[in-house]
Amino acid sequence: MFQRPQHLLGRMAKQYRVFYIEEPVFYTLENKNMVAVSPQNVWVVTPFISLDTDPAHIEQVQTDLLNVLLTDFNIQDYYCWYYTPMALPFSRHLKPQVTVYDCMDELSAFNFAPTLLHELELELFKRTDIVFTGGYSLYSSKKQYHHNIYPFPSSIEKEHFEKARLEQPDPEDQAQIGFPRMGFFGVLDERLDIELINAVAIARPNWQIIFVGPVVKIDPDSLPVHPNIHYLGQKSYNELPAYISGWDLAMIPFANNKSTEFISPTKTPEYLAAGKPVISSPIRDVIDPYAELSLVHIAFDATDFIEIATLELNNKDRGIWLRDVDDFLRRNSWDITCNAMNALIKQIKENREYV
């Protein structure tokens, strides 16, 4: 998935050498790092660990492979940028100039979260110099743990998704689907409101509901199945505008549960940049600011969703709304976010050098 880490670290790679260390892959040969360079010039490091490794020694192997990476690439002066506290056990020996924790979700609330995650996050808060959060609600939840913490909500690569405002060739697997269409792209997991989706599909069998994205951590058989629901699977970031272009509405049908309490969906501004009306569940970081600025509709249940969607499907004049959307998005970009983060990080380094 091309998400917040890719947007931010890809831009950081214009100023730094960036090494992104993935979770290990277990296979039958020797322990080693596989290193590839992404299109954004990020060095993507995948630790390959032998299947014969004793589970009790896996963290030590990861530590050893990390040290090999530092030696092989002559990495001496560096920052550590964390997306998960679970990386701490094999990296706590490092001595970075600055440590950053970009806390993009409340990971402990997700299904199958490791039991050690919360304990390791508290340790990471003690070690880190600066914390960024993926939204304002997450900032409110985490600010008690660190003195130097800043909210940076989901941002937008507006030019990319604006392509959807122009007529695009309908992708082959979507072309045969009828209209009207309402779509969602992203991971299909425990955050989805399956009851809402099921109710809308049954109540409006002529509405076509399209899902673009992989099924993760849930049984695919638990997803609602109706003739008007279409699961198209994962697509690349570059393909998304072509899919969205063919939708009448975009939706964020998330359930009200622990895994959605602090999320700030990146897809919200992406849908808006594509020029599509958005109907969302009452997610706090969608209500404020998007719904409060009348940029996004909030549906509390299936009845709300159907009523709002019916009005939007009959709305032929969205000129004023689209102007307001563009005014809002003009102040919002991944470039702006990345530059602001980088300035805060550099300030920490400069303050230390000055002392």
Instruction: Determine the pLDDT at residue 60.
Output: 97
What is the layout of strands, in order, in the sheet containing 278-280?
229-231, 208-212, 181-185, 249-252, 278-280, 297-298
Instruction: Determine the pLDDT at residue 35.
Output: 98
Instruction: Determine the pLDDT at residue 161.
Output: 97
Tell me, yes or no, whether 255 and 140 share the same domain.
Answer: no
CA distances to 179, 197, 266, 284, 334 from 153, in Å: 33, 27, 8, 12, 10
Tell me, yes or no, whether 300 and 216 share the same domain.
Answer: yes
Over residues 197-238, the pLDDT tens digits come to: 999 999 999 999 999 999 998 999 999 999 999 999 999 999
Instruction: Determine the pLDDT at residue 229.
Output: 98
pLDDT at 337 over 60: yes
pLDDT at 109 over 80: no
Percent over 70 (pLDDT), the chain: 99
What total number of domains does the chain contain?
Answer: 2
Percent over 90 (pLDDT), the chain: 90
φ, ψ of residue 290 in degrees (nearest 5): -65, -50
Secondary element (H or E) of residue 135: none
CB of 228 closer than 8 Å to CB of 208? yes
Over residues 297-324, the pLDDT tens digits come to: 999 999 999 999 999 999 989 999 999 9
Stretch 121-132: mean pLDDT, rounded?
97
Tell me, yes or no, whether 126 and 245 share the same domain.
Answer: no
CB of 127 closer than 8 Å to CB of 147? no
Tell me, yes or no, whether 96 and 218 share the same domain.
Answer: no
Count of CA atoms in the C-beta half-sphere (13 A) of 119:
4
Instruction: Determine the pLDDT at residue 354.
Output: 64
Tell me, yes or no, whether 39 and 69 share the same domain.
Answer: yes
Over residues 317-336, the pLDDT tens digits come to: 999 999 999 999 998 999 99
Tell me, yes or no, whether 182 and 256 share the same domain.
Answer: yes
Over residues 5-40, the pLDDT tens digits come to: 999 999 999 999 999 999 999 987 889 999 999 999
Over residues 148-159, the pLDDT tens digits come to: 999 999 899 999
| pTM of this structure | 0.90
Instruction: Determine the pLDDT at residue 196.
Output: 97
Tell me, yes or no, whether 67 and 145 share the same domain.
Answer: yes
User: What CATH code is carried by the domain that includes residue 261?
Assistant: 3.40.50.2000
- In whole numbers, what is the pLDDT of the chain averaged over residues? 95
Tell me, yes or no, whether 142 and 45 share the same domain.
Answer: yes
Tell me the two tokens of residue 345: 């990080």
Instruction: Determine the pLDDT at residue 113.
Output: 76
Q: Which long-range contacts (CB under 8 A, 24 or more apart) does 89-97 make?
A: 89/59, 89/62, 89/120, 90/59, 90/60, 90/62, 90/63, 90/66, 91/63, 91/66, 92/123, 92/127, 93/63, 94/66, 97/349, 97/352
Of the two residues 301 and 107, the one the predictor is more confident about is 301
Tell me, yes or no, whether 187 and 45 share the same domain.
Answer: no
Tell me, yes or no, whether 134 and 166 share the same domain.
Answer: no
Angle (deg, nearest 10), helices 194-203 and 302-313: 50
φ, ψ of residue 131 in degrees (nearest 5): -125, 135
CA distances to 2, 141, 214, 236 from 242, in Å: 16, 37, 18, 11
pLDDT at 291 over 80: yes
CB of 329 closer than 8 Å to CB of 306? no
Pairing of strands 43-50, 32-37: antiparallel
Range of the domain at 24: 4-155+334-354
Tell me, yes or no, whether 175 and 262 share the same domain.
Answer: yes
Helix (H, G, I), strand (E, B) or coil at 46: strand
pLDDT at 165 over 90: yes
Tell me, yes or no, whether 288 and 203 share the same domain.
Answer: yes
DSSP letters for 48-59: EEETTS-GGGHH
As a whole number of Å, the end-to-end CA separation of the chain is: 41
